[in-house]
Amino acid sequence: MEITSKTLGLEKIILSSQNILFIQDIDGVCIPLVKDPMTRKLSREYIFAAKKLDKEFFVLTCGEHEGKRGVNRIIERSLGSKYKPRQDGLYLRGLAACGVEYQDSKGVINFEGISKEELDFLANVPKLMRPKFRLIVKELFPQMDDNLINFHMKKSICDTRFSPTVNFNSLFEISENNLIKIKIQRYFEKMMNEIISIGKSRGLRDSFFLHISPNLGSKNGVELLKESKNNDIGSTDIQFLLKGAQKDAGVLCLLNKFIGDKKGKKPFGENFNFRDAPIGKNEKIAFCKKYIEPKDLPIIIGVGDTITSNQIRKSNSFARGGSDRSFLEFIQLLGYEFGIKNNIIFVDSSYGEVFRPSTRKTGMKGITDKYDILKFDIIFQDGPEEYIKWFTKIAHKRYQIKN
């Protein structure tokens, strides 16, 4: 794939079209990747630019809006106020927790399609994780004392409301070689599967799944772990998610809202949520064709940073995954099917603290391949900083034209 960062064509489309919609991932796109998620930063300019796009902008992230680890806290820090974002509507509107947690720009949260039993179990997952975490770390790092284990546990286990997570970065840092890193990945994958089993034994047979990030795609509905290698750290976290929480299902929810806002009637129904979305990609397309009138579909600009493609030598094929793949592929395909040119932007997030394939060092290797159906229209090789600069400029221009 030719690497192009030419934005002129897309700018023309954004400035001349009636009906456009940004759907954008957060981490690695507008927030540089960091090892400790509690230290994430978001630029003020970006927050105001997103506000300028108003209803033509949604985020779609697997992180969460609320809670102490939520993006809302980053926004409050960045603006230096707990009240201003709510007052002025400066929170990032859209879906978090991979399509489960919706909020508007005033920070009003909405989540549907989840049972009380599921919510209660999710709240209990970090408690189930902690003793298991301790045992694993004791086995892998026998010298480590309890204080240090607690330190790593605090950094590694995220007690988020809809997506409790184990993150490996803190343990990776003290791992001397890839062998240990791979053990960390595999042991914690096993731990998370044990918790899925506990859920099943408590009657939640079909409630949850594991989202591994980044991954190597999935097999029979199970996401494949990406083992650490010398030039690519591989999977860095595993999220415990509600079944159906997938970014491409999130696109359907966002389109329902977007069109509903414009027309006064939501095409998929008032209470449509992530659990109502058809499972397969083709089924989702057929669903859209059934309920959305072509003239109502906006030109979508999809933005993400986590896309993987790794060659499998044995079978001469590619394992493709990454948490942004499903929604970007869907946006692209939806455009083809409706005769619209949707645009896909890839942001190279390898500049952050987390080791990922870099387009500057190794081209598109590890990210995409020539047989990949997902094609990028623009690649921001200089990462979030370059994207934010462009986004701020274009949001401002669009605002001027519309107002």
Nearer CB in complex with Mg ion: 188/387: 387
Burial class (CB in 10 A: 0-12, 13-18, 19+), 251: buried
In the complex, minimum distance from the CB of residue 310 to Mg ion, in angstroms, rounded to a whole number: 18
> What is the rounded distance in angstroms from the CA atom of residue 86 to the CA atom of residue 108?
9
Q: Which of 305, 329, 348, 377 binds Mg ion (CB under 5 A)?
A: 305
Could you tell me which of 46, 43, 95, 51 has the C-alpha nearest to residue 399? 51
Residues 306-325 that bind Mg ion (CB under 5 A): 306
Contact 355, 228 (CB under 8 A): no
- Pick from 14, 22, 27, 254: which binds Mg ion (CB under 5 A)? 27
The residue number with the shortest CB distance to Mg ion is 28
Which is closer to Mg ion, CB of 27 or CB of 64?
27
Candidate residues 21, 24, 28, 137; the one interacting with Mg ion per rule CB under 5 A = 28
Burial class (CB in 10 A: 0-12, 13-18, 19+), 220: exposed
303/26 Cα distance (integer angstroms): 9
Please tell me the count of residues contacting Mg ion according to CB under 5 A.
5
Q: Which is nearer to Mg ion, 24 or 207 (CB)?
A: 24
Which C-beta is closer to Mg ion: that of 71 or that of 292?
71
Amino acid of residue 54: D
Please report whether residue 25 would count as binding Mg ion according to CB under 5 A: yes
CB neighbours of 153 closer than 8 A, spacing ≥ 6? Answer: 130, 133, 134, 137
The backbone region for 338, taken as left when phi is positive above 0, alpha when psi lies in -120 to 50, beta otherwise, is alpha
Task: Please identify, using beta-carbon distances, which residue of 59 and 136 lies nearer to Mg ion.
Answer: 59
Smallest gap from Cβ 389 to Mg ion, in A, equals: 18
Position 352 contacts Mg ion (CB under 5 A): no
Q: How far is the CB of 305 from Mg ion (least distance, A)?
A: 4
Of 18-26, 70-78, 179-187, 365-373, the segment contacting Mg ion by CB under 5 A is 18-26
Q: Does the footprint of Mg ion cover residue 232 (CB under 5 A)?
A: no
| C-alpha span between 163 and 238 (Å, rounded) | 9
Query: Residues in the site for Mg ion, rule: CB under 5 A?
Result: 25, 27-28, 305-306
